[in-house]
Amino acid sequence: MRKIILFLIVGILFSSPCSKAVILGKDLPAIHGFWEADYGYRIGRDTTKRDDYNLLEQRLQLKSRYYPKSFLADWNSEFFFRGDWTVDEYFSGKTDFDVREMNFSFTPNDFMDVKLGRQILTWGTGDYLFINDMFPKDYVSFFAGRDDEYLKQPSDAVKFSFYPKIASIDFVVISRFEPNTHAEGDRLSFFDSFQQGIAGTNSDRDLLEPPHQMSNSEYALRIYRNLGRNEAALYYFHGFDKSPRSYKNELARQLYYERVDIYGASIRGPFFSGIGNAEAGYVNSRDDHNGSNRLIENSMFKALVGYSKDLGNDLRVGFQYYYEQKLDYDNYRNNLLPTDYFWDQYRHLVTNRITKLFKNQTVMLSLFTFYSPSDRDGYFRPSISYDVTDHLKAILGANVPWGNDEITEFGQMKKNKNVYMRVRYSF
């Protein structure tokens, strides 16, 4: 409780208009951010947990930027910092400090930008679906009910952007591998093949990250340009799967992140008085090129198409269809052992987003739905938010994953259904 009060005080302190100057002096950079309290109450039955909450935290996010003088000023350079201080009551009041972004950007000449340091990276055309965006994501935040911004995790990277006339180019070098954050059993239960079912805190698998070596650097490339009113892009990624889908050592319960190369393309533009998009990618599983190793993820083809439309009166809808196919499925199936869990060759997924605003756009009703006819599972994400003032926002929402099986993407999350509330004060 004392921590909450402390956060409140700090939040209020920073929010008053004169405080910045008083505390920091006139020439120092301005500080903005928010204070937020998140509460998520589990409504799914989960006997592996003693607690009924799966989200119980406060956070203070501060962001600031600084423009250096001297020759760096001619380079339009900027230091940027954004970090979260959290008190996680779920883990007995554990405090944490998470640097979301800390980077230096500059423009050494007209046709080039550089961004160096910790940064959030996003590209591609999907809505909550990613094919060519291989930058790390936090699915624990996503399923627990944190703000959308926490779906994206930072990368420690250098991004070079080039702007020749013919097309724009982004080239990202990631020196330190950062995996996706997935359910591990404590906050969220999930399917653990070693436990032969949905596991909670009993999960004891070991996830092996690639060692920090020069040869394990990841590279991501995007080349994009406008074609008429459409935006077209080509993608290449060389690195590791961001989710631990392959087995290193079954007896030791070790999983690892297999090497992948991804080649992809996307297009987005006006379509039937809305916006249409399409994206595809070929994933080459380099450690298992012909797919015959039952322990390593198969090579895959992934594609999605989407359409969104403004129906008027602040009502918007969007639809997506996503397709995934394992490419060396016969080799994979032929090498399975009788006791193995195995994955289907095809996955079909449809999504729907519907958003409606009320009361001078201060109230937002939103529902995002995933449904997979092939996996027979799905996930509802309803929410209602209200801007109480320009600074204060309250959100009530729910996470409702469901499924017939325990092994599928959403089915394995079915014990994590929750209702959450967030209150955010921005300054």
121, with CB counted inside 10 A (0-12, 13-18, 19+), is buried
Please choose, from the candidates 400, 352, 345, 401, the residue with its C-alpha nearest in 3D space to the C-alpha of residue 374: 345
- The answer to whether 122 contacts other proteins (rule: CB under 8 A) is yes
Indicate the residue among 9 and 311 with the shorter CB distance to other proteins: 311
- Dist CA 296 CA 331 (whole Å): 12
- The answer to whether 105 contacts other proteins (rule: CB under 8 A) is yes
Residues 26, 27, 50, 390: which binds other proteins (CB under 8 A)? 390
Pick out residues in 64-93 that bind other proteins (CB under 8 A): 65, 67, 76, 78, 82
Least gap, CB of 102 to other proteins (angstroms): 14
The size of the interface with other proteins (CB under 8 A), counted in residues, is 58
- The answer to whether 407 contacts other proteins (rule: CB under 8 A) is no
Indicate the residue among 220 and 300 with the shorter CB distance to other proteins: 220
Query: Which one of 107-115, 186-194, 199-207, 415-423 is the stretch in contact with other proteins (CB under 8 A)?
Result: 107-115
- The answer to whether 169 contacts other proteins (rule: CB under 8 A) is no
Residues 56, 121, 220, 398: which binds other proteins (CB under 8 A)? 121
Describe the strand order of the beta sheet including 246-249 as a list of residue ranges.
206-208, 254-256, 246-249
Residue 212 DSSP label = S
Residues 287, 314, 340, 344: which binds other proteins (CB under 8 A)? 314
Name the H helices within 27-152: 71-74, 139-144
Query: Which one of 4-12, 138-146, 272-280, 367-375 is the stretch in contact with other proteins (CB under 8 A)?
Result: 272-280
- The answer to whether 310 contacts other proteins (rule: CB under 8 A) is yes
Indicate the residue among 11 and 291 with the shorter CB distance to other proteins: 11
Least gap, CB of 318 to other proteins (angstroms): 8
Scored b (16 or more CB within 10 A) or e, 34-58 reads: bbbbbbbbbebebeebeeebbbbbb
Least gap, CB of 355 to other proteins (angstroms): 7
96 strand-pairing partners = 86
Residue pair 193/341 in contact (Cβ under 8 Å)? The answer is yes
Amino acid present at 282: Y
Residue 100's H or E segment, with its range, is strand 94-109
Indicate the residue among 168 and 217 with the shorter CB distance to other proteins: 168
Task: Decide the pairing of beta strands 274-285 and 246-249.
Answer: unpaired
Q: What angle do CA 377, 128, 125 make, to 5 degrees?
A: 130
- The answer to whether 223 contacts other proteins (rule: CB under 8 A) is no
Residues in the chain: 427
DSSP 362-377: TEEEEEEEEEETTTTE
Tally of CB atoms within 10 A around 97 = 9
Indicate the residue among 107 and 345 with the shorter CB distance to other proteins: 107
- The answer to whether 172 contacts other proteins (rule: CB under 8 A) is no
Residues 17, 229, 251, 337: which binds other proteins (CB under 8 A)? 229
Binding positions for other proteins, rule: CB under 8 A: 30, 32, 34, 65, 67, 76, 78, 82, 100, 105, 107, 113, 115, 119-123, 148-149, 151-152, 161, 163, 168, 224, 229, 231, 268-270, 273-275, 277, 308-314, 316, 355, 357, 360-362, 364, 385, 387, 389-391, 393, 424, 426-427
